[in-house]
Amino acid sequence: MNQVLADAAGDRAAEKVSDRRLVLLWAATAGAVVLHNVEEWLRDMTGWIAAHPWLPGRSLHGDQAEFAVVLAIVTAAVLAIAVIAVAIRPRWSTEGLVCVAYALMVNGAIHIMLSLLSWSPMPGVISGIVVLLPLGALVVHMLPPVRWTVLTIAMTVIAAIGITASALALASVLTGIE
C-alpha cells in the first residue's frame, strides 16, 4: 500500500514539471555532456592518463582515436536518451534526468579529485567545475526528488557503467585496438 502511495505521489510530482522545463533541462544536460566530452578529447585525456601511470584505469582509455570513438558513443547514447525523454515523455523522463544529473556531478567531482591528487589539471576538469557541477545541482533543485531505492540506485549505476563499458568495448572493435 505504501509503495502504491509513493508511486502515485511520484507520478503527481513528475506531472507538475512542464514540458518546456523538461526540454530545456534535458537539452542543457545533453549539451553539457557534449561540451565535457569535447574538452576531454581536445585536451588529450589519453595523454594525460599516460602521463600519470599510477592512476587506475589507464588501459581503459586506449589511444586518442579509440577514445574519440568512446566519447562519440557515450555522447550519442546521452543524446538518444534525451531525445526519447522529451519526444515521447516516458514515465522515467524526469527521474532519469535527475539520475543523469547526479552522475554528471559525480563525474565532475572525480575530475576535481584526480586533478588535486595529481597536481595537474585533468582534461574535463574545467567543464566539470564550470558546467557539470552547477548544472547538475540546478537540475536536482528544479525537479522533483528521485525516490531513491536500492533498485533506483542499482539501475543508475548499471546504466552509467553499462553505457561506458559498452562504448569502450565497441570502440575497441571499431578501431581494431585490443
How sure is the predictor about 170, in pLDDT bands with cuts at 50, 70 and 90?
low
Residue 23: Cβ within 10 Å count: 15
Residue with the bigger pLDDT between 117 and 63: it is: 117
Predicted TM-score (pTM) of this structure: 0.80
Mean pLDDT of the chain: 82
Domain ranges of the chain: 2-175
CB contact set of 60 (below 8 Å; sequence gap of 6+)? 168
Q: Given this model, what pLDDT does residue 175 score?
A: 64
Residue with the bigger pLDDT between 27 and 64: it is: 27
List Cα–Cα distances, 171 to 97, 101, 138, 177, in angstroms: 26, 25, 32, 8
